[in-house]
Each structure stands twice: as C-alpha cells, then as structure tokens.
Structure 1
Amino acid sequence: MLRIKKTCLILFAAIFAASCGKEKATKAEKHHSDDPLACIFPCEANLPKLSKAELQRKRNKVEHFAKKLWRDYDNYAFLVAQNGQIIYEDYNGFANKYKDEKIGAETPIHIASVSKSLTAAAILQLVNRGEITLDQKVNTLLKTFPYDDITIRMLLNHRSGLKNYAYFCDRPEIWNRKDTVTNADILRLFGEKNIPRESRADTRFAYCNTNYAMLALIIEKVTGVKYGEAMDRMIFKPLGMKNTFVFDIHKDKARVSLTYKGNMPLAFDHLDAVYGDKNIYSTPRDLMKFDLATYDPDFLDKALFDQVFKGYSYESKGEKNYGLGLRMIEWKTGQKFYFHNGWWHGNTSSYVTLRKEKVTIIALSNKYTKKTYMVRKLAPSFGDYPFKKDKADEMLE
C-alpha cells in the first residue's frame, strides 16, 4: 500500500506514477492531470447527440411528467439527460428563505445517501489502481477495527452485519448527544463500548450507514488526506463538479442550503459530522457529469466494473438488490434498473442511471418529500422498465 504524508506530495507523485504503470500514466497525460490523486476524468465515450426533433419529443414527455409530479410543491432541483445532453431541467424554491436565496442550477443541496455512490466510486478507483482489494480485510487498514471477518466488499454491498451508528450513538450510556460524532469516534466506540453486530458477516443484506462511514476512513488511510480533500481531488475537480463538496460542520454551516420540514428549518445535530454515507452537497448538473464519466471505457477495469452492477443478496426472493454502491431492481425478464435514493433531515434525493439508454435522472429537494423518489417512474419513457402501477402514481395521472 502506498502511504502518503501531506508534506511529501512530490515524493508521492513520483512513487505513485511508477506504481500506476505506463497505461495509467498515459491516461493521466491524456487528461492533463497534474494531481496524482485524480482518478475519474470526463467521459470520452463519444456518445451520440440527440437530433433536435428527438430532443424536443423527449423534452415534451419529461416536462409533462415533471409538471404533474412537482405541482403544488416548491423546493426541488430536477434534471433528465441522455448521452450527457440535458433534455429537461427545472429548479424551484428556496435554498434559504431568510436570505431570499433561491434554488438554481448552481445551488448545492445535501444529496444524503446518494453520497454512497460517490464514496463507492472513490473506493473502486483505489481498487482499480491496486492500492486495495475488494476482499481485503478491513482491519488490515483500520487497525483498531475489531471485526476480523469483514471485507471492503461487505462494506460496499451492506453485508457486513455492522450496527447503524445512528442507533447506538443515540444511547446515553454510549454517547453524549451534546457532543458531535465523527467517523473516528464510531470506529473507536466499536472497541470501547463492545458494540454488538446485527448479524454475522456476509450472511444477509442489511442497509447500514456505518459501512460507508468506515469506507470514508479507508479512503483517508490509503490516500493520506481527509475524505473531503480526497473526494475533491479524485473525483470532483477532475470532472468539473464545481458546485460539489463534502460538508465540514466546523466551516460550512453558514453557507449551505437550509433543510426544511414543511416551512420549519431543521437544525444540525450530533450526527451531522459523519461523512461517506452522506454529507456531500451537489447539483443535478454535477451529478450528471459523474454519471456520464461511468460510461468512459477507462472508468474501471471491465472485470471490476461488472462487479459493481451485480446483486449480492439472494437470501430471500424478490426483485430488490444492492451492488457496490448502487441499489437495483432485477426483474424476471432480465431487465435491471439501477438507482440510489437518499434521506437526511429534510433532504431527499434520487439518482437514476439507465445503463442501456445512457439516461441520467436526478431529483434533489431540501424540503422533505417522497416525490423525489417517484422520478423512477420516468424510466418506461426511455426503455423496457416494467414498473407496476401503485397508489402513488395516481397523482401523475
């Protein structure tokens, strides 16, 4: 493993360039990157542009859907694109009512658990470079991690059996809620408080934010910089995601968009410093850039890329599953639908990536609503996605 110190960036660059080999050096050279941490670059898949007629036809359909979905609702950011070409986007409401700051195309909103897809991408880039392996034991990197049978892959696909930190950090005998919890605190509490697991490792799926809080610590261990800086240098800056950043509770509270439930702004709490599972602020346009980059042949080695988009949990029958940083629906027809939703305080988010059609659908809101999740109902407009009609669809008729 490459061990990096902040004071040794020049040495790191030389060593890292050698470790990546000629192929990686050629890629970085092609994209003119001077930062050895840069992992993901703008897509060079040469995706075809939609004709004006096709663009207008699809825009009309999406706009019709959007006007019904968001009617009588005033806080959202919404975008649909195909092949990196924006078909439709709409922004409405306030980032901060007190300051009269409205939501626009460049307004960062807390993307909640959609952050997991970006954290996973950073981990996978480190795997792609040979810095770590998917089946490497977590305690070979985080030395005080007390569970010796949990691997990086199990953190990514939620099969670790770990307990959600939000639950045990709410217990007064474990944590004083007047103090802010950090990722390092969660790791420390495992050993100090003898936190039991929900299940044995790799025996069942259980969605758990703790998994991605640990993955953020792994990113810090391998890169030698804080998670926010690592994400900025590995992904955000190379892709031109200029309005995307990791929230720092000590620096950013006054500048970020507020979060609302009804008309009431919600306060930060003791869990708002934990990152990796959440705490990325972004925009639909920036998330489109990330999604588009995943179509570049250089994004990941193909064998590794294929492991991202496969299900790992089949203990019980059903269509829902989880890959490496992505949720999925697997229909009996063989069709697969990939997405990730998020919720934190009043923020809700949805990231949909239709792989066959190369369609990106992004919906963000800083005022609590489940409408955000309903954008998946747009998928049948682009391909064979057999969503069943339910009561929630009545509002779209």
Structure 2
Amino acid sequence: MTAGPVPASAVAVQDSVRPDAPAPTETRSSGVQSRLERLLSETGLPGAIATVKDGEGRTRTYVAGTAQIGTDRAIDPRSRVRIASNTKMFTATVVLQLVAEGRVGLDRSVDTYLPGLVRGSSNDGRRITVRQLLQQRSGLPDYDSLVIDAGGSLDAVRHTYVEPHELLTAALAERRHFRPGTRWAYSNTNYVLLGLLAQKVTGRPVGELITRRIIEPLGLADTYWPEVGEQGIRGPHPHGYLTEAPGDPWTDATRLDPSLGWAAGQLVSTPGDLGRFLQGLMGGELLPVDLLAQMRTGVRAPHFDAEPGWRYGLGLASRTLSCGVRAWGHGGDIQGFETRDLITRDGRWATVAVTALPADLETVAAVNRTVDDVICSS
C-alpha cells in the first residue's frame, strides 16, 4: 500500500460509554494495542478499531492509526463504521424470528412468499428454499454486472442509489451457478431476496424490522439503518478509504450510498455494538434454542473470507481458532471499511474494524489473524 506510515494512538474505554459522553483519555499499553499497531505496520492500513470482551467479562475498545490520512488526528474510540455483510446476520435473525412465529417455513420455496419473482437464465424460485438462501446454497449469481456496467470499479458506484429490485434483476440476467442445494457459493443476491421476503411477509420495510426486532431490544444505540439516499455516517467516525489494486493510493470513500448492499450489507454500527449483537444472539435473546442451533450449524464454505476451514450456517459463519476453540461471526467489506468479528461459546468476543477496503487477500488474512490472536490471548 502507498498510504505510508501513520501515527498510532491507544484509548481503552469501558463498554458502557456512549457517543454523547465526554471523550475518554485513559491510555493503555496492552497485547491488544500492540497487535493493532502491528496490523497497521504490516499492511499499511490507515487505522483500526477493536472492541474485545475477554475471559473475565471486561469489555474495552482500542484504536490505532489516524482518523484521516495526512493528519495526526486520533480515531475516536466511540466511532461508527459501515459493517457491510455483517448485516446478513441481522437479516437472517429477522427471517428466523418469522420462522419461529410460523410465518415463514425454512424448507418452503422462495416462490411461496415471492411468487414469480425469481425467474430467468435457469434461475427459478420454485426450486430454491428459504434455508438455501440463508445458507448460501441457492446457486443464484451475484449482481456483479451492476459494478461492471458502472465502469468496472467500486469507486464508480459509490454515489449511485440502487433499488433492491434492480439488484435482483441484474443477478437474474446471469445463468445460475449450480442446482440449488448441491454446492455452496457466496452471493449477496440471497440476502436481497431474504430482505424482500421479510418485507412481503410482514408488510414493513426491512430496515424497520431490523431496528424494532434487534437493535432496540438489545439497546444497540450506535447501530442504525441508513435512510434512503443517506451517504454520510452519523456521529463520530473516521474517514474510510478504498484502493482498486495493490499499491495504488488510497481514495477517500467515507461518503457513499450503501443501497448496493441493502439487506446484504447496509448497516452502520460500532465494533462494540456488533460484539453486543453477537453476545445477545448467542445468549438466546433473539431466537429460540432450536433455531439458534440450526443457525450455528454450518456446511463447508470453501473460499469464504479467502481462507480454508470456514463453515456457513444460516447467516452465521464459524471456524476453529488457532487455540482450538470454535468461534462464530461473519465479517463485512464495503468501500471504506472492513470488519471482522467472532464470538466463542464461553462468551469471549472480538470485533476489529479497519478504515480501508484493501485490494489484496494478504491484508484480509492479516485482519482475520488479529481477531484470532486477540480472542485466543484474552
């Protein structure tokens, strides 16, 4: 990366700090802090935020790097970021709540709820189940053609508003990848469809469903669904950056229209709120025991997050960490930000957000290793 070295700063705050509270000033030297600084040194990423709940139940937030390239401004530890595909966990949870209420059947076809919507290029909603959408086993193509048509770059679509049905139309113009249920392949289209399904069943917008069913009950005060056309990030936040190829300079991508992600990737949150969501989910606050068990039970997910060993459940991914412990989470990439998060069965969790979307898999792997290291040493 060509962004160059950036200053590192550390602030640890208690889990209860809110955005309207005075900025904390306590400086800590810790293993987590050292690991964050090493991540930036190894990758050239501009900044990072990590919130960690350790084995003793303490939750702290750490920051490193700069809030804006070219300045020595420290990142506010209360900062919000775009959490991208971590949104899929929220969407999946809403759909599973509808299953628990008897309003959706996991093994019913997509056509049951969205009749005639999924057709074209061998894609057929009569042959795809809700479970297959959740588990990324539908065979539906992703809507990559939208990016290609816009000029072939993520930067080219940053300020473009897209309707969910446009995303689906772009995907269905391509031939299905495989027969539903026979393989695993990640596709954002699956979660756009799940958002449309949840809206059809309830008669309410998916952002409202996520807010009322998850964000408000868990008290996630720093998590929100952006309004239509909203391109900024509310409250304290660092600048987010993008590069299209390894070695290229960073482009400021802080402002963007997140509609390209919609139910697959639109939410804004903090690392702390994201960890609290995982804690509430795994603690049984959002789903009945049987559905949570199904959500956590995964199939082999080759190439998920560019690393082997992942399994993908119903919107929740898992892997065995270097210390031999199984952990669940998801992760998300969007112009400007990359976030990785995992929680163990014993309640330890870590969320690491970096303030750029890198163009190389080595950097992605380094962020994943940081989450692994932090949890295993906590």
Question: What is the TM-score normalised by the length of structure 2?
Answer: 0.72
Residue in 2 that maps onto 1:290: 277
- In the aligned structure 1, how far is the partner of 2:341 from the partner of 2:302? 26
- Could you tell me whether the CA contact under 8 Å between 1:135 and 1:153 is conserved in 2? yes
Secondary structure of residue in 2 paired with 1:245 = coil
Deviation at 1:344, TM superposition (A): 1.3
Deviation at 1:212, TM superposition (A): 1.1
Residue in 2 that maps onto 1:341: 331
Alignment of 1:43-192 (within 5 A): 60-71=30-41, 74-82=46-54, 85-92=57-64, 103-143=75-115, 144-146=117-119, 147=124, 148-167=126-145, 170-171=148-149, 180-189=161-170
Describe the shift of the 1:179–1:188 C-alpha distance in structure 2 as closer, same or farther (beyond 3 A): same
Alignment RMSD (CA, Å): 3.5
Describe the shift of the 1:271–1:244 C-alpha distance in structure 2 as closer, same or farther (beyond 3 A): closer
Describe the shift of the 1:140–1:101 C-alpha distance in structure 2 as closer, same or farther (beyond 3 A): farther
Is 2:202 the partner of 1:217?
no
- In the aligned structure 2, how far is the partner of 1:83 from the partner of 1:127? 33
Secondary structure of residue in 1 paired with 2:49 = strand
Partner AA of 2:331 in structure 1 = N
> Which structure has the greater CA radius of gyration?
1
In the TM superposition, what whole-angstrom CA distance separates every residue of 1:206-234 from its partner, at most 9, and x where no partner exists? 01111111111122222222121221111
Partner AA of 1:218 in structure 2 = L
- In the aligned structure 1, how far is the partner of 2:73 from the partner of 2:37? 23
- Could you tell me whether the CA contact under 8 Å between 1:84 and 1:292 is conserved in 2? no
Q: How many residues align?
A: 317
Deviation at 1:235, TM superposition (A): 0.9
- Could you tell me whether the CA contact under 8 Å between 1:166 and 1:271 is conserved in 2? no
Describe the shift of the 1:311–1:254 C-alpha distance in structure 2 as closer, same or farther (beyond 3 A): closer
In the TM superposition, what whole-angstrom CA distance separates every residue of 1:127-149 from its partner, at most 9, and x where no partner exists? 12222121121111122222111
* Structure 1 residues not aligned, in runs of 5+: 1-58, 383-397
Residue in 1 that maps onto 2:266: 279
Describe the shift of the 1:171–1:197 C-alpha distance in structure 2 as closer, same or farther (beyond 3 A): farther
Partner AA of 2:343 in structure 1 = T
Is 2:350 the partner of 1:361?
yes
Residue in 1 that maps onto 2:289: 302
- Could you tell me whether the CA contact under 8 Å between 2:85 and 2:333 is conserved in 1? yes
Is 2:372 the partner of 1:376?
yes
Describe the shift of the 1:60–1:188 C-alpha distance in structure 2 as closer, same or farther (beyond 3 A): closer
Task: Report which stretch shifted further, 88-97 or 154-163.
Answer: 88-97
In the TM superposition, what whole-angstrom CA distance separates every residue of 1:119-164 from its partner, at most 9, and x where no partner exists? 2122222212222121121111122222111111111111000101
Describe the shift of the 1:166–1:230 C-alpha distance in structure 2 as closer, same or farther (beyond 3 A): same
Describe the shift of the 1:274–1:111 C-alpha distance in structure 2 as closer, same or farther (beyond 3 A): closer
Partner AA of 2:353 in structure 1 = L
- In the aligned structure 2, how far is the partner of 1:226 from the partner of 1:337? 31
